[in-house]
Amino acid sequence: MAAMTPTTRYPDRTEDTGRPDTGAPARTPARRPRPRIWRGAVLALAGAYFLLPLVASFVFTVHVPGQGITFEAYTELLSADGFTESLLLSLGLAAATIALSLLLAVPALVAVRIGPPRLRPVVEVMCMLPLVVPPIALVTGITTVLRWGPEHLSRTPLYQTFIAVQNEKFPVVLVLAYTVLALPFVHRSLDAGLRALDVPTLVEAARSCGASWPYVVRRVLLPNLRASLAGAAFLTLALVLGEFTIASLLGFQPFAVWIVSISGAQARMSVAVSILSLLITWLLLIDLSRAGTAPSTTAAAPATTSRKES
């Protein structure tokens, strides 16, 4: 009986003879590159939409009919009455609003993440209410409350508090109003960052090592929320620098109100100030974005240090 060859035993296999396979491999259809013309067209239209008004505004500030090119609108800015004071006031209000809004939102959202889940919708609705209430209604309510000082509290210690929050050099009432307006944006930014973290696990691990609550927030949670904090500060800064309605109706003059106040008498200077304010805002926002994307340099402290703080 003839021995069975490998070919006959395994008909679906071929004998390996060491010679190259002459069969042509199956060719996969080449993918055609997607057309990118529409992408360039969209970017060009978006760039034209944003840049053309700025270029036209800049030309309006430097070109005077009958005189040619002049930069008097920009050279007179520093000596303009109220320019430096209003700009510094807006920056101070922005810094105070960012600090107060983060001081309120960060502990509340962390507590909601650690606590019962049924509190999350309540906190979210409370933070989103400023989007529903119009600014004019908010100003009306603030004005009504401020009238209680001279009408009902003139003989109480609270009267001086009502006067202090309306100080023109630094109106604290604007900080409180801007904090309310910024809560929806701060909440969305921080909530997105907290969703990406396992907050209960991080807090439990740090607490099990003996860390105190301030240490956990400062050295464990905040470094992981750097990008979210920068985004919240980014949005709050843009809101405060561009807000006009509340400050104008309450009788204060931050940077946005000052620009409108000089637009009637010095049109070119007001446009020049608007362009300058855009540049200042962009520079500040770029700094905030870099601060949010920079790597954290905070080193992990040993457990003995955290026990000492607790």
Q: Residue 101: which of 245, 1, 233 has the closest Cα?
A: 233
Q: Is the pLDDT at 89 greater than 90, yes or no? A: yes
Q: Residue 231: which of 298, 175, 285, 294 has the closest Cα?
A: 285
Q: What is the pLDDT of residue 182?
A: 93
Angle between helices 83-114 and 255-263 (to 10 degrees): 140
CB 221 within 8 A of CB 198: no
| Sign, Cα dihedral of 54, 292, 177, 255 | negative
Rounded CA separation 212/206 (Å) = 8
Rounded CA separation 80/213 (Å) = 49
Q: Which of 10-24, 48-62, 258-272 is the most confident on average?
A: 48-62
State both tokens at 228: 């979210």
Residue 167 DSSP class? -
CB 226 within 8 A of CB 296: yes
Q: Which long-range contacts (CB under 8 A, 24 or more apart) does 85-89 make?
A: 86/253, 86/254, 86/255, 86/257, 86/258, 87/255, 87/280, 89/169, 89/170, 89/253, 89/254, 89/255
Q: Is the pLDDT at 109 greater than 80, yes or no? A: yes
Three-state secondary structure call for residue 69: strand
Q: Is the pLDDT at 6 greater than 60, yes or no? A: no
Cα three-residue angle 123-230-296, rounded to 5 degrees: 115
Average pLDDT over all residues of the chain: 78
Q: What is the pLDDT of residue 101?
A: 94
Three-state secondary structure call for residue 163: helix
State both tokens at 94: 């922005």
Rounded CA separation 68/70 (Å) = 6
Q: Which of 13-27, 58-72, 230-244 is the most confident on average?
A: 230-244
Q: What is the value of pTM for the model shown?
A: 0.72
| Residue 63, φ and ψ in degrees, nearest 5 | -105, 120
Q: How many Cα atoms are found within 13 Å in the side-chain-facing hemisphere of 87?
A: 14
Q: What is the pLDDT of residue 18?
A: 52
